[in-house]
Amino acid sequence: MSRPVCPQCQYPVNACLCDSIRPLSTRVELIVLQHPSEVSHAKNSVKLMQAVMGDKLRLVVGESPEDFAELRDYLKAQSRPVFLLYPNEESETLNSSAKCHDVVLLLLDGTWRKAYKLLKLNPWLSEYPAVHLDLDAPSKYTIRKAKRDDSLSTLEAAALAIEILEPSCDVSPLHDALAALVQQRLAAMPASVRQRYEPE
């Protein structure tokens, strides 16, 4: 039997985050390409992004070019700049690449290995300039461990990108919702387990 889910935030009723959800609206168009393995992952931050942003966030789940056929047609029809938020040898810092909010930003959601696999399976993504973020603080999504020090959750990366592209936009609803989720998950852990995730 699956646990009952809150119809608003889509989290289990006993872990409802509605009290911590405030809507966020941005003129930056965010499109998340999500690896299928992330859909049911309990610590997937895109689910929280959806609760905050609603239909302001477009989510496409897939792995092969065929899975993204409709999205590819949509992107080809765009007159606005389209950027891929992914650090590589050719990527530029976001603030030097795009100086306005009227852009489409593509984000890959998955572990570093899964995101890299998405990139390699979809060479069409190379049609769009790659950008990266200059990070000056570690991820606050401490309940999900990453192998790289420069890792951010997809939610954190999106919030930082919006701040750069649209400085007048208040992204605190994303940060506050993430903080609430982290605190809720930490509180539910046995003390011996919690020590592994709390900052030293």
Determine the pLDDT at residue 146: 47
> Contact, 170 vs 159, CB < 8 A?
no
Q: Highest mean pLDDT: which of 6-15, 140-149, 159-168?
A: 159-168
Strand partners, 57: 30
- From residue 117, how far is each of 24, 131, 146, 168, 180 by CA, in Å? 31, 18, 17, 35, 31
Taking residues 158-171, report their average pLDDT.
92
Q: Please state which of the ranges 20-24, 58-62, 151-155 shows the lowest mean pLDDT.
A: 151-155
Mean pLDDT of the chain: 84
What pTM was estimated for this model as a whole?
0.83
Determine the pLDDT at residue 6: 85
The yes-or-no verdict on residue 196 having pLDDT over 80 is no
Burial class of residue 96 (count of CB atoms within 10 Å of its CB; 0-12, 13-18, 19+): exposed
Closest listed residue to residue 55, CA positions, set 93, 25, 90: 25
Taking residues 143-153, report their average pLDDT.
56
Taking residues 182-186, report their average pLDDT.
78
Phi, psi torsion values for 5, nearest 5 degrees: -115, 140
